Amino acid sequence: MDKHVKGGKARAESLSVEARSEIASSAAKVRWDREKLLPKATHRGEIRIRDIVLPCAVLTDGTRVITELSLNSILGTSGGGKQRQLRKASGVNWPLALSSKALEPFLPLVFAEGELLPIEYKDGRRKAKGYDAKILPKMCDVWLRARDAKVLQDQQLHKALAADMLMRGLAQVGIVALVDEATGYQDQREKDELHQLLGIYLSEEKLTWAKRFPDEFYKQIYRLHEWHWPSDGNKHPGYVGKLTNQLVYECLPKGVLEELRVRNPKKEGSGQRQWKHHQFLSDDIGQNDLRDHLLQLITLMRISKNWPTFIGHFEFAFPTPGQQIAFELEETRK
């Protein structure tokens, strides 16, 4: 028996029961605290490419992972005992699926430093280990380079065939999209992206009112409709407000108008909103986007002889919202 092992055993035996219990409790606490910091799998699924099935997950920090076990089943070895010993002895952390001697010359040509570090995470109650899903195409590339260099043994050629099949499948759609689809994470991703957009597009607090809509914007609406400009240029009929929503706010990024309606609800009884929607747009992003959009609209209005002509220009520039305005136009003619 190793002398260090003997010494450690002797020291343990010399400790009291209370001391040993305290040491064990401290060690357990350290392990527990370390595990609490691990990211958790929030979405799980399987990538299927022909006959290949790869379990995958999305973690709380947004990392897409593929388990080492699933990588081994496709590109690695069924046993892995010898490879695990060799990997442990050499101090490397890359997947067993890349532990063949024939692959080693190609690893530095494909992978950047640190790219093959394993990722530990919690999958329910158990602790799991995987790798960033983005390394999968590169793993396949390593196998194919080794095949083309004719350094693989005959019993390894079926792994290169699997790598070739995976690469062809991954060429059609990115690995991140595959993981998101397999786990259902794309729905959450869209929510997160919307949340990030609203975070920069809208202001945390309502801004002080300032004139954001140039008079020309409204004067052009009146000109194109052949309406008389009101004596009080600050008061317009409700239909003008409806057009403003369709021409402006419905053209803002998806989800912005819905959030504006939540932050600026209609008052009970009157049906009017207490503030202007533009007071909730962020000063640096939302307000600038509003200004640029209004300038585009005014330009389209200036080159239009009448409302139908303008609608044609508008539908060409902003096709989806334009369809709604064309419908309103037809109704006003009845």
pLDDT of residue 89: 44
> pLDDT digits over 167-212, tens only?
877 765 566 677 777 787 777 766 666 666 677 778 767 778 788 8
Do 174 and 231 lie in one domain? The reply is no
Identity at 198, one-letter amino acid code:
L
Do 92 and 130 lie in one domain? The reply is yes
Do 60 and 99 lie in one domain? The reply is yes
pLDDT of residue 224: 94
> pLDDT digits over 249-283, tens only?
888 888 888 888 888 888 877 778 888 898 888 88
Q: pTM of this prediction?
A: 0.45
d(CA 5, CA 136): 41
The band of 146, judged by pLDDT with boundaries at 50, 70 and 90, is: very high
Least confident of 84-88, 94-98, 167-171: 84-88
Does the residue 190 lie in any domain? no
Does the residue 188 lie in any domain? no
Residue 52, phi then psi, degrees to nearest 5? -90, 130
Does the residue 313 lie in any domain? yes
The band of 334, judged by pLDDT with boundaries at 50, 70 and 90, is: very low
Burial 178-212 (b: 16+ CB within 10 A, else e): bbbebbebbeebeeeebeebbeebbbeeebeeeeb
Least confident of 5-14, 184-193, 279-288: 5-14
Do 212 and 176 lie in one domain? The reply is no
pLDDT of residue 15: 58
Do 23 and 45 lie in one domain? The reply is no
Please choose, from the candidates 127, 98, 100, the residue with its C-alpha nearest in 3D space to the C-alpha of residue 38: 127
Do 135 and 264 lie in one domain? The reply is no
d(CA 74, CA 46): 14
Residue 308 pLDDT greater than 90, yes or no: yes
Does the residue 126 lie in any domain? yes
Domain count, the chain: 3
> pLDDT digits over 24-51, tens only?
555 555 455 556 678 888 888 888 776 7
Per-chain mean pLDDT for the chain: 77
Number of neighbours of residue 57 by Cβ within 10 angstroms: 25
d(CA 131, CA 64): 8
d(CA 135, CA 151): 22
Residue 305 pLDDT greater than 90, yes or no: yes
Residue 97 pLDDT greater than 90, yes or no: no
pLDDT of residue 19: 56
Do 153 and 74 lie in one domain? The reply is yes
Please give the share of the chain, as a percent, with pLDDT higher than 90.
Answer: 14
Do 103 and 159 lie in one domain? The reply is yes
Does the residue 192 lie in any domain? no
Identity at 237, one-letter amino acid code:
P
The band of 233, judged by pLDDT with boundaries at 50, 70 and 90, is: low
d(CA 231, CA 235): 9
Q: Identify which has the larger pLDDT, 182 or 245.
A: 245
Does the residue 78 lie in any domain? yes
d(CA 196, CA 204): 13
* Structural domain range at position 329: 201-333
Q: Are strands 41-49 and 126-132 parallel, antiparallel or unpaired?
A: unpaired
Q: Identify which has the larger pLDDT, 240 or 210.
A: 240
pLDDT of residue 325: 43
Q: What is the mean pLDDT of residues 65-70?
A: 85
Q: Identify which has the larger pLDDT, 100 or 36.
A: 100
Does the residue 189 lie in any domain? no
CA distances from 285 to 47, 145, 207, 265, 281 (A): 38, 47, 13, 22, 8
